[in-house]
């Protein structure tokens, strides 16, 4: 975008420092930069992005307490991390923004904050800085988060094991087991986090969604009509499709991506490989890991499996893998520590994605028309999986735990030549076409982006600079 005249307006963007949040925030920054805004990324020391990949942005570090980190992958660690971040970053963030506002020659149009950094609303109010939020998850799961107080009153939450299969009639098509809960000894802490997250989203001046109108229209309507979300909403996604895959893939990755899997995929025929990845935070037990390994081996289909160091609880990397298992497959399976996922999903050899249904993974799969096997672990992943399998009907969910026989059957249902697999694949390809349309001139996301740019520029008149 060199040579484009900047709008004379600077935007401050603060991502939540986790991979699934940094990726969409930096893509959003690129999109807004392409629309002639100047960009400053505010970030923590923990999981800081690499400024050398973005020479056209400014970066400013919030000097948060050194104790802030996510040392282990588990729901309760994640919960404590989010609470600590929101408690400990207030003062350093306020100091950082105050300094920027006093030194910045360009007027700052607004702050764009990850919705889970709810602490930024209070600071923005104090500094009289307009705040818009980016919700990096889907709209449908946000509806379920917004419904939490009501679902608690109705007795759906806390979840009772005997009611897992019951329909939650107020939030269709969710069943009790699809509600976005986490396993924790301290559920009150989780409820408080959700309360603040939803409320400070409501108190913002607008919400940007990494989603598109055609995919989640009923959830968007529900939010504004039933939950009184009256601020403007901008479904402008999928963000990463504004750029060529190769250029948007690796810049924001916190872990180095193993490119060797692309040449491995090159050797395979179209739609023949199952890609398996459970994202950057989820962790699985050693027992589940072994069931997955045997399910993959027994399926007879080629697979590319991301086993991130730390994925298996209590192990460094692949120690629990039975010796000889991979060797006996004679090259049918490849395990890597971290993959260039956007390129993998866009590769013609990939025929299905076995995912934990983090929102980015789900959306990335939708964009490439790749059907999914769903194995959600916690929070919004459970809602996303339900939508994939029962609303968009572009995947199958492993409903009965992680067991090698069921895994093998699910892989065969999706990847063997058969009518069911074909129908699912056809629906996924149709949705991929909708993605292309929404990003074209006049398409829903393209129009929403235009509206967002106009909206941000309209905020300038009410912006007050810190004195
Ligand atoms: N990802 C990647 N390489 C991998 C696995 C994941 O680049 O081997 C990226 C993926 O493309 C996505 C992000 O990491 O953008 C994971 O986000 P998601 O919301 O799917 O899951 P989370 O990690 O937040 O649970």
What is the per-residue pLDDT across 93-139, written as a single tens digit (0 to 9) for each?
A: 999 999 999 998 889 999 999 999 999 999 999 999 999 999 999 99
User: Which residue, among 333, 345, 290, 352, has the nearest Cα to 315 in the 3D structure?
Assistant: 290
Domain co-membership, 281 together with 385: yes
Q: What is the pTM of this model?
A: 0.97
Tens of pLDDT, residue by residue over 283-302, are: 999 999 999 999 999 999 99
> How many domains in the chain?
2
Q: From ligand 1's centre to the CA of 19, what distance in Å?
A: 7
State whether 128 and 266 are in the same domain. no
Query: Could you tell me whether strands 372-374 and 38-44 are parallel, antiparallel, or unpaired per DSSP bridges?
Result: unpaired
Please report which residue ranges of 227-313 form alpha helices under DSSP H.
245-249, 260-266, 286-299
Of the pLDDT bands very low, low, confident and very high (cuts 50, 70, 90), residue 461 is very low
154 and 23 in a common domain: yes
Same-domain pairing of 70 and 133: yes
Q: Are residues 313 and 361 in the same domain?
A: yes
Give a yes or no: residue 305 inside a domain.
yes
Query: Which of 15, 19, 252 has the most ligand 1 atoms within 8 A of CB, as the residue to mutate?
Result: 19
Task: Report the run of H or E that residue 61 belongs to, with start and end.
Answer: strand 58-62
Query: Are residues 135 and 113 in contact, defined by beta-carbon separation less than 8 angstroms?
Result: no
> How many other C-beta atoms lie within 10 A of the C-beta of residue 153?
9
CA distance 445 to 436: 10
- Indicate if the pLDDT at residue 335 is higher than 90: yes
Q: Which of 280, 336, 344, 365 to mutate to test ligand 1, by most ligand atoms within 8 A of the CB atom?
A: 280
For residues 401 and 407, what is the distance between their CA atoms, to the nearest angstrom? Answer: 9
Distance CA(211)–CA(215), nearest Å, equals 7
The answer to whether 255 and 334 are in contact (CB under 8 A) is no
Q: Is residue 48 within 8 Å of residue 61, measured between CB atoms? A: yes
Measured by CA distance, the residue closest to atom 9 of ligand 1 is 341
Say if residue 250 is exposed, middle or buried (CB neighbours under 10 Å; 0-12, 13-18, 19+): middle
From the CA of 342, give the closest atom in ligand 1.
11
> Does 467 map to a domain?
no
Measured distance CA(50)–CA(130) in Å, rounded = 27
Q: How far is the CA of 290 from the CAs of 295, 312, 334, 387, 396, in angstroms?
A: 8, 10, 16, 28, 21
Ligand 1 residue neighbourhood (C-beta within 6 Å): 19-20, 23, 253, 277, 279-282, 306, 338-339, 341-342, 358-361, 364
Report if residue 5 sits inside a domain. Answer: no
Residue 69 above 90 pLDDT? Answer: no
Domain, as residue range, for 47: 10-246+441-458
Same domain, 239 and 283: no
Q: Give me ligand 1 centre to Cα 355, in Å.
A: 10
Whether 5 shows a pLDDT value over 70: the answer reads: no
What CATH number is attached to the domain comprising 109? 3.40.50.2000
What percentage of the chain carries pLDDT values higher than 70?
A: 96
- Residue 3 in any domain: the answer is no
| Cα 360 to middle of ligand 1, angstroms | 6
| The predicted structure's pLDDT at residue 399 | 95
440 pLDDT band, cuts 50/70/90, is very high
Same domain, 184 and 62: yes
Interval between CA 377 and ligand 1 midpoint (Å): 14
| pLDDT tens, position by position, 209-226 | 999 999 999 999 999 998
Question: Of ligand 1's atoms, which has the minimum distance to the CA of residue 345?
Answer: 11
The answer to whether position 465 is within a domain reads: no
- On the question of pLDDT at 420 being above 80, the answer is yes
Give percent of the chain above pLDDT 90: 90
Q: Which of 141, 341, 366 to mutate to test the pocket of ligand 1 (most atoms within 8 A of CB)?
A: 341
HSE-CB of 305 using CA atoms within 13 angstroms: 22
Query: Cα of 20 to ligand 1 centre, how many Å?
Result: 6
Residue 239 lies in a domain: yes
Query: In sequence order, which ranges of 203-281 are alpha helices (DSSP H)?
Result: 213-226, 245-249, 260-266
What is the spatial distance between Cα 333 and Cα 376, in angstroms, rounded to a whole number?
A: 23
In a domain, 2, yes or no: no
Asked if residue 158 has a cis previous peptide bond (ω within 30° of 0), the answer is yes
**Do residue 125 and residue 187 come from a single domain?**
yes
Mutate to test the pocket of ligand 1, among 237, 260, 361 (most ligand atoms within 8 A of CB): 361
The reply to whether 217 and 260 lie within a common domain is no
- CA-closest residue to ligand 1 atom 11: 341
Residues 177, 182: Cα–Cα separation, whole Å = 11
CA atoms within 13 A on the CB side of 341: 32
Q: Is residue 410 part of a domain?
A: yes
Q: Is the pLDDT of residue 463 over 50?
A: no
| pLDDT score at 248 | 64
Mean pLDDT, the chain, rounded, equals: 94
């Amino acid at each position: 975008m060199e040579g484009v005249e900047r709008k004379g307006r600077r935007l401050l963007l603060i991502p939540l420092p986790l991979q699934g949040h940094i990726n969409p925030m930096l893509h959003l920054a690129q999109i807004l930069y392409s629309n002639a805004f100047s960009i400053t990324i505010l970030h923590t020391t923990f999981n800081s992005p690499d400024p050398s990949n973005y020479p056209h942005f400014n970066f400013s570090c919030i000097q948060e307490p050194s104790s802030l980190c996510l040392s282990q992958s588990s729901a309760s660690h994640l919960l404590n991390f989010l609470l600590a971040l929101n408690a400990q970053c207030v003062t350093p963030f306020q100091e950082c923004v105050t300094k920027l506002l006093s030194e910045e020659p360009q007027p700052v149009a607004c702050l764009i904050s990850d919705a889970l950094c709810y602490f930024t609303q209070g600071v923005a109010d104090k500094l009289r800085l307009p705040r818009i939020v980016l919700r990096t998850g889907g709209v449908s799961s946000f509806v379920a988060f917004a419904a939490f107080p009501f679902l608690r009153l109705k007795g759906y939450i806390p979840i009772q094991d005997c009611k897992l299969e019951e329909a939650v009639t107020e939030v269709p098509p969710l069943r009790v087991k699809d509600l976005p809960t986490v396993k924790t000894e301290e559920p009150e802490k989780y409820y408080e986090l959700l309360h603040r997250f939803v409320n400070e989203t409501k108190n913002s001046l607008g919400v940007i969604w990494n989603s598109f109108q055609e995919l989640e229209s009923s959830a968007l309507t529900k939010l504004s009509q039933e939950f009184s979300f009256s601020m403007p909403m901008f479904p402008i996604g999928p963000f990463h499709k504004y750029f060529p895959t190769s250029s948007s893939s690796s810049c924001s990755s916190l872990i180095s991506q193993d490119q060797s899997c692309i040449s491995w995929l090159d050797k395979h025929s179209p739609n023949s490989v199952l890609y398996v990845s459970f994202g950057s935070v989820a962790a699985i037990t050693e027992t589940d890991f072994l069931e997955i390994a045997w399910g993959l081996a027994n399926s007879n289909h080629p697979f590319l499996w991301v086993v991130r160091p730390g994925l298996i609880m209590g192990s460094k990397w692949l120690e629990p893998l039975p010796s000889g298992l991979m060797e006996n497959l004679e090259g049918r399976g490849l395990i890597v520590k971290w993959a260039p996922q956007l390129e993998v999903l866009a590769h013609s050899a990939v025929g299905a994605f076995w995912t934990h249904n983090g929102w980015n993974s789900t959306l990335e799969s939708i964009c490439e028309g790749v059907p999914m096997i769903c194995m959600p672990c916690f929070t919004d992943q459970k809602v996303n999986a339900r939508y994939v399998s029962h609303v968009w009907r572009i995947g199958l969910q492993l409903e009965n735990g992680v067991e090698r026989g069921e895994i093998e059957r699910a892989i065969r249902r999706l990847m063997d030549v058969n009518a069911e697999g074909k129908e699912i694949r056809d629906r996924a390809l149709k949705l991929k076409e909708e993605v292309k349309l929404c990003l074209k001139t006049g398409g829903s996301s393209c129009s929403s982006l235009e509206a967002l740019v106009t909206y941000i520029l309209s905020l300038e008149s009410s912006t007050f600079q810190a004195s």
